[in-house]
C-alpha cells in the first residue's frame, strides 16, 4: 500500500471516528411501526418495572462503566424535576437474555418509554441533557 492508500485509510478512519462520536449518546426517536399494527408495550420480562404516569427511563448499565454513573445522575435528576417520570437502572450483566432481546450493544443504553410502556426513544452511550429534556417535553 502506497502513501496514497495510507492517506485514504487515515481520512476514512477519521471520518468514521467523527461520525461515530457525533451519534454516540444521541436520543434516537422510535420509528413509527407498521401501519397495520398498533405500538405495543416493551416486554421487559423477566423484570417487573413500575412505569411512570408520564414516562420511564430504563437504563442498562454495567459495574465498570464510567459513563453509566454520569447517565444515572442525569436521568435521576431529570426524573426528579419532572413529576410522573421514573428512572430504573438495570444491571446488563445480570440480565443478558433481556439485553440480547432488546438489541443492547453497549452500556449505558437508555430506553425511554411513554406512560403505556411503548418505546419512544433510545440512546446508546451517555445521553445529552437537551435530548432527554426534548423527549420529556414531548410526553407532556
Domain span at 91: 26-138
Q: What is the pLDDT of residue 22?
A: 56
Beta strands 27-29; 85-91: pairing state = unpaired
- Least confident segment among 23-27, 39-43, 82-86: 23-27
**In-domain check, residue 6:** no
Q: What is the pLDDT of residue 38?
A: 52
| Start-to-end CA span in the chain (Å) | 57
Mean pLDDT of the 107-119 span: 95
Question: Cell 441533557, residue?
Answer: 129
DSSP letters for 75-137: HHHHHHHSTTEEEEEEEGGGGHHHHHHTT--SSSEEEEEETTS-EEEEEESSPPHHHHHHHHH
With a cut of 90, say whether residue 42 has pLDDT above it. Answer: no
**In-domain check, residue 113:** yes
**In-domain check, residue 130:** yes
> Are the C-beta atoms of 107 and 62 separated by less than 8 Å?
yes
Q: What is the pLDDT of residue 19?
A: 61
Distance of CA 125 to the CA centre of its chain: 7
Mean pLDDT of the 26-39 span: 54
The three-class DSSP label of residue 23 is: helix
Mean pLDDT of the 102-113 span: 95
Mean pLDDT of the 56-74 span: 96
Distances (CA, A) of 68 to 8, 25, 43, 71: 35, 11, 23, 5
**In-domain check, residue 67:** yes
CATH number (domain holding residue 106): 3.40.30.10
Number of domain units in the chain: 1
Amino acid at each position: 500500500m502506497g502513501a496514497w492508500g495510507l492517506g485514504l485509510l487515515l481520512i476514512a478512519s477519521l471520518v468514521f471516528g467523527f461520525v461515530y462520536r457525533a451519534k454516540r449518546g444521541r436520543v434516537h426517536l422510535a420509528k413509527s411501526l407498521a401501519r397495520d399494527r398498533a405500538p405495543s408495550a416493551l416486554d421487559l420480562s423477566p423484570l417487573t418495572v413500575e412505569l411512570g404516569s408520564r414516562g420511564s427511563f430504563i437504563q442498562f448499565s454495567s459495574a465498570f462503566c464510567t459513563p453509566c454513573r454520569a447517565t444515572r445522575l442525569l436521568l435521576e435528576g431529570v426524573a426528579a424535576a419532572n413529576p410522573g417520570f421514573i428512572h430504573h437502572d438495570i444491571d446488563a450483566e445480570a440480565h443478558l437474555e433481556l439485553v440480547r432481546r432488546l438489541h443492547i450493544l453497549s452500556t449505558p443504553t437508555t430506553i425511554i418509554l411513554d406512560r403505556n410502556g411503548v418505546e419512544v426513544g433510545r440512546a446508546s452511550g451517555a445521553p445529552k441533557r437537551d435530548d432527554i429534556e426534548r423527549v420529556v417535553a414531548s410526553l407532556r
